[in-house]
Amino acid sequence: MTDKQVYPVTPEVAKHALINKDQYQAMYKQSIENPDQFWAEHGKRVDWIKPFTKVKNTTYDYNALSIKWFEDGELNASVNCLDRHLESRGDQTAIIFEGDDPSDSRNVSYRELHDQVCKFANVLKSQGVKKGDVVTIYMPMIVETAVVMLACTRVGAIHSVVFGGFSPEALGSRVVNGKSNIVITADEGLRAGRKIPLKKNVDAALKNDDRHTVKTVIVVTRTGGDVAWTEGRDQRYEDLMTNASADCKPEPMNAEDPLFMLYTSGSTGEPKGVLHTTGGYLVYASMTHQYIFDYHDGDVYWCTADFGWVTGHSYILYGPLVNGATTLLFEGVPNYPDSSRMGQVVDKHQVNILYTAPTAIRALMAQGESCMDGTNRSSLRILGSVGEPINPEAWKWYHRVIGNGECPIVDTWWQTETGGILISPLPGATDLKPGSATVPFFGVQPALVDAEGTLLEGEAEGNLVIMDSWPGQMRTIYGDHERFIQTYFSAYKGMYFTGDGARRDADGDYWITGRVDDVLNVSGHRLGTAEVESAMVSHPKVAEAAVVGYPHDIKGQGIYVYVTLMQGEEPTDELKKELVQWVRKEIGPIASPDVIQWATGLPKTRSGKIMRRILRKIAANEYDQLGDTSTLADPSVVDDLINSRQSK
Ligand code: PRX
């Protein structure tokens, strides 16, 4: 089947675009047939302290897995983001900061940013931070966060940004796992007029760190609110910056030296520290940013993500800054002070490229078109979507209402692990289909396999795999290389398994259907069912819990929890509320269960494995599609669950 509704490349977009259809075909072909030549050429888009002579050295062979790109080159990320622009665009705005409060905004030039980064790099050095150390960053969306991240790269430290919405418990386990002995935070964050107690959370997280290895906490003043102070450990960012020199020699990094790690959820166990290295990542992030967003010099680019997620790393910070772009950094949320905010920010800063998430679009859509009243958004040229499948209805609304029917939408599919976008339209080269991420980027070879790993040809639906390496790919799970190999390369030998399902239509376009493992995608945030379950069962009244996703109008997926209580405990509404609060405290607000259903028993196989397939169907009200329940140890459990679901 070819999907009928197609939005062809318009003549206006084609005229302006960096890449047209023929160029895409030719470049794609070259990137696959001759990757060494292709990437040798495009590897030069970043500045090398010592040029590479080797390009691609990768194998997905399960027993000899190795991923190296540009392996003998040396470079520094902060130099690529800052120093190399000073001569040509030192006074150009690098970051437009738009605060939570609409009256709070400022522009930071490349020169100013360079100064701040060098100063903070010297501060890090003065605190004993060296190449290879892990620096934990738990900060709001403010300019200083960009400064801190880039300063880490200047001295060769590995940053580990933890999303400011995570709880002290989640932060603490990431600090410990990363063996980090320094944390950078702010007194409080600001979101939708509310204060987020970041420093308080750090204090609580470190109280649980029984190794007491965190020697330094640096606190940026954002709100000026009162915070507790541990003498000897806590230091004020502003005080340290006052006397720091703005002269700091960058640390030459091998292309394969780590740049950052970022925790993400898997289908089992604790979150894993996804490790990205320097050379390939920067080449890939900057190249995808330029071509996929059709970025031209002088464009104002706004990605609404948070630095706590990979999108914030690759497409607020590294990609745009390597390209010398003006990147907008937004502290707030799209519906504060009211739902016109997104349109207001676009008009105020004359944004040309807007990159956001389906959940934000659906939330605006629910407000009605009036949420764009009073704004014209005529500066917009390209729209982007990321984080979850975008339903065609939301796609069309985004196109028609926000983009005035004139801007191509690039639906970009990728993952924390991939470092950059792997499947997406290119504005001047790809006809669009609402809901389809369409075609692979240069060097990316997607394929579909069935459960046995047999490659599916032509029009098909199956598990999405990637057949060969691309420069932005993660290199390992921090501290657990074996888990890296097991997680991504053991399901289908010789292929990278994404964990996603996809359909390929008759034109060869890809449609991502969502995760096929036990990973949830709630408002574009990735969460492991295992994490939520382990938070739940740590409550003293809970005997057992099973978590599944279910379709949710705004969030994409909501969190549905089946809970079996300890013998003698009363299943009350009060207790449900308590359990929701419990999970928020254990993980953070993003993990708040949407529905809790009491379960006297859970559907298990005779070997004790919970059959989530059945639980997903019950949560989605699809009782007629339960499939075979005869293998259950106690099939009557299913009827009980359906009855109690229906009686609610
Ligand atoms: O299921 C896919 C979904 O988000 C997952 C990756 O989540 P994370 O590592 O947090 O990175 C999010 C930002 C890149 C994927 O496995 N996903 C991401 N983008 C899309 C998507 N699903 C459908 N369409 C997309 N455009």
Q: Is the pLDDT confidence value at 326 over 70?
A: yes
Angle in degrees, 0-180, between the axes of helices 168-177 and 573-586, rounded to the nearest 10: 30
Q: Residue 526, annotated ligand binder?
A: yes
Q: Whose CA is nearest to atom 26 of ligand 1?
A: 413
Q: What's the CA gap between 565 and 541, in Å, rounded? A: 6
Mean pLDDT of 382-395: 97
Mean pLDDT of 93-119: 98
Q: What's the CA gap between 464 and 499, in Å, rounded? A: 7
The average confidence (pLDDT) of the chain is 96
**Residue 607 pLDDT grade (very low, low, confident, very high; cuts 50, 70, 90):** confident
> Cα–chain-centroid distance for residue 583?
22
Q: What's the CA gap between 223 and 188, in Å, rounded? A: 6
Q: 6 in a domain, yes or no?
A: no
- What the block records as the tokens of 208 is 């649980």
Index of the ligand 1 atom closest to the CA of residue 411: 26
- Give the pLDDT of residue 626: 86
**Residue 211 pLDDT grade (very low, low, confident, very high; cuts 50, 70, 90):** low
* Residues 442-478: tens digit of each pLDDT: 999 999 999 999 999 999 999 999 999 999 999 999 9
Q: Where are the beta strands (DSSP E) in 13-140?
A: 56-59, 66-69, 74-75, 93-98, 105-109, 134-138
- Give the pLDDT of residue 364: 96
Query: What residues does 190 pair with on adjacent strands?
Result: 195
Q: Whose CA is nearest to atom 22 of ligand 1?
A: 388
Q: Is the pLDDT confidence value at 87 over 70?
A: yes
Weakest-pLDDT range from 2-6, 15-19, 23-27, 58-62: 2-6
Instruction: Name every protein residue with a CB atom under 6 angstroms from any ligand 1 atom.
Output: 264, 309-311, 385-389, 411-416, 437, 498-500, 512, 514-515, 521, 526
Question: Quick one: 203 and 341 in the same domain?
Answer: no
In a mutational test of the pocket of ligand 1, which residue from 276, 526, 531, 555 has the highest number of ligand atoms less than 8 Å from its CB?
A: 526
SS3 of residue 38 by DSSP: helix
Q: Residue 233, annotated ligand binder?
A: no
- Cα of 456 from ligand 1 centre, angstroms: 22
Count, residues in the chain = 648
Tell me which amino acid residue 482 is. E
Question: Quick one: 621 and 572 in the same domain?
Answer: yes
Q: Is the pLDDT confidence value at 2 over 60?
A: no
Q: Residue 498, annotated ligand binder?
A: no
Question: Quick one: 402 and 542 in the same domain?
Answer: no
Question: Quick one: 576 and 624 in the same domain?
Answer: yes
- Cα of 244 from ligand 1 centre, angstroms: 40
What is the residue-wise DSSP string for 148-175?
Answer: HHHHHHHHTPEEEE--TTS-HHHHHHHH
Question: Quick one: 492 and 548 in the same domain?
Answer: no
435: left (phi over 0), alpha (psi -120 to 50) or beta: left
- Give the pLDDT of residue 1: 53
Q: Whose CA is nearest to atom 3 of ligand 1?
A: 388
- Count CB atoms within 10 A of the CB of residue 29: 12
Residues ≥6 apart with Cβ < 8 Å to 599? 546, 562, 563, 564, 637, 640, 641, 644
Weakest-pLDDT range from 267-271, 300-304, 358-362: 267-271
Weakest-pLDDT range from 196-205, 414-423, 453-462, 627-636: 627-636
Q: Residue 194, annotated ligand binder?
A: yes
Q: What's the CA gap between 486 and 556, in Å, rounded? A: 29
CB 47 within 8 A of CB 286: no
Index of the ligand 1 atom closest to the CA of residue 512: 23
Q: Whose CA is nearest to atom 11 of ligand 1?
A: 415
Residue with tokens 């960053």: 137
Cβ contacts of 569-572, under 8 Å, gap ≥ 24: 569/541, 571/598
CATH number of the domain encompassing residue 229: 3.40.50.980
- Cα of 204 from ligand 1 centre, angstroms: 31
Last residue of a domain, which of 465, 495, 514? 514
Q: Residue 415, annotated ligand binder?
A: yes
Q: Residue 635, annotated ligand binder?
A: no
Last residue of a domain, which of 514, 534, 552? 514
Index of the ligand 1 atom closest to the CA of residue 515: 1
Question: Quick one: 66 and 191 in the same domain?
Answer: no
> Cα–chain-centroid distance for residue 289?
15
Mean pLDDT of 61-69: 95
- Cα of 405 from ligand 1 centre, angstroms: 25
- What the block records as the tokens of 160 is 């580990």
- Cα of 512 from ligand 1 centre, angstroms: 9
Question: Quick one: 385 and 500 in the same domain?
Answer: yes
ipTM, interface predicted TM-score of the complex? 0.99
Q: Residue 481, annotated ligand binder?
A: no
- Give the pLDDT of residue 625: 85
CATH number of the domain encompassing residue 622: 3.30.300.30
Q: Whose CA is nearest to atom 4 of ligand 1?
A: 387
Index of the ligand 1 atom closest to the CA of residue 305: 13
Q: 128 in a domain, yes or no?
A: yes
Q: Residue 63, annotated ligand binder?
A: no
Question: Quick one: 145 and 203 in the same domain?
Answer: yes
Q: Is the pLDDT confidence value at 386 over 90?
A: yes
Q: 482 in a domain, yes or no?
A: yes
Q: 398 in a domain, yes or no?
A: yes
In a mutational test of the pocket of ligand 1, which residue from 512, 513, 523, 527 has the highest number of ligand atoms less than 8 Å from its CB?
A: 512
Q: 102 in a domain, yes or no?
A: no
Question: Quick one: 232 and 367 in the same domain?
Answer: no
* Residues 241-254: tens digit of each pLDDT: 999 999 999 999 99
CB 504 within 8 A of CB 244: no
CB 79 within 8 A of CB 88: no
CATH number of the domain encompassing residue 44: 3.40.50.12780
What is the residue-wise DSSP string for 452-491?
Answer: T-PEEPSSEEEEEEE-S--TT---EETT-HHHHHHHHHSS
Q: Whose CA is nearest to atom 13 of ligand 1?
A: 387
Cβ contacts of 359-362, under 8 Å, gap ≥ 24: 359/387, 359/388, 359/523, 359/524, 359/554, 359/555, 359/556, 360/304, 360/334, 361/385, 361/390, 361/394, 361/397, 361/398, 361/402, 362/391, 362/394, 362/553, 362/554, 362/556
CB 216 within 8 A of CB 235: yes
* DSSP character at residue 294: T
**Residue 4 pLDDT grade (very low, low, confident, very high; cuts 50, 70, 90):** confident
Q: Is the pLDDT confidence value at 409 over 70?
A: yes
- Count CB atoms within 10 A of the CB of residue 232: 8
Question: Quick one: 288 and 408 in the same domain?
Answer: yes
Q: 500 in a domain, yes or no?
A: yes
Q: Residue 397, annotated ligand binder?
A: no
* Residues 36-45: tens digit of each pLDDT: 999 999 999 9
What is the tally of helices (H) and strands (E) in the chain? 21, 31
Q: Where are the beta strands (DSSP E) in 110-233?
A: 134-138, 158-161, 182-186, 189-191, 194-196, 216-220
Question: Quick one: 245 and 281 in the same domain?
Answer: no
Q: What percent of the chain has pLDDT over 70?
A: 99
- Give the pLDDT of residue 268: 82
Index of the ligand 1 atom closest to the CA of residue 499: 16
Number of structural domains in the chain: 3
Query: What residues does 7 pair with on adjacent strands?
Result: 432
- Give the pLDDT of residue 337: 96
- What the block records as the tokens of 8 is 């062809």
| Residue in 340, 364, 339, 337 with CA at minimum distance from that of residue 193 | 337
Q: Residue 174, annotated ligand binder?
A: no
- Cα of 645 from ligand 1 centre, angstroms: 30
- Cα of 61 from ligand 1 centre, angstroms: 26
> Cα–chain-centroid distance for residue 64?
29
- Cα of 91 from ligand 1 centre, angstroms: 35
* DSSP character at residue 252: P
- Give the pLDDT of residue 334: 94
Q: What φ, ψ does residue 611 adopt, rounded to 5°?
A: -90, 95
Q: 33 in a domain, yes or no?
A: yes
Q: What's the CA gap between 106 and 100, in Å, rounded? A: 12
- Give the pLDDT of residue 208: 66
- Cα of 133 from ligand 1 centre, angstroms: 29
Q: Whose CA is nearest to atom 15 of ligand 1?
A: 415
Last residue of a domain, which of 514, 535, 552? 514
SS3 of residue 515 by DSSP: strand
Question: Quick one: 435 and 459 in the same domain?
Answer: yes
**Residue 382 pLDDT grade (very low, low, confident, very high; cuts 50, 70, 90):** very high
Tell me which amino acid residue 589 is. P
Tell me which amino acid residue 159 is. H
Q: 202 in a domain, yes or no?
A: yes
Q: What φ, ψ does residue 582 adopt, rounded to 5°?
A: -60, -45
Angle at 505 between CA 500 and CA 510, to 5 degrees: 35
What is the residue-wise DSSP string for 329-368?
Answer: EE-S-TTSSSTTHHHHHHHHHT-SEEEE-HHHHHHHHHH-
- Cα of 211 from ligand 1 centre, angstroms: 35
Q: Which domain holds residue 214?
A: 107-252
Cα first-last separation, the chain: 40
